[in-house]
Amino acid sequence: MTIVVGNVNSFLNPVPENFALSSAYPNPFNPTTSLNLDLNQDGFVSVKVYNVVGQVVAELVNGHMNAGYHTIQWNAGNVSSGMYLVQVEAGDNIAAQKLMLLK
pLDDT at 12: 60
DSSP 8-state secondary structure symbol assigned to residue 6 = S
Q: Is the dihedral of CA 54, 58, 61, 63 positive or negative?
A: positive
pLDDT in tens, 14-46: 788 899 999 999 999 999 999 999 999 999 999
The yes-or-no verdict on residue 1 having pLDDT over 90 is no
- Evaluate whether 28 touches 67 at the Cβ level (below 8 Å): no
DSSP 8-state secondary structure symbol assigned to residue 47 = E
pTM, two decimal places: 0.85
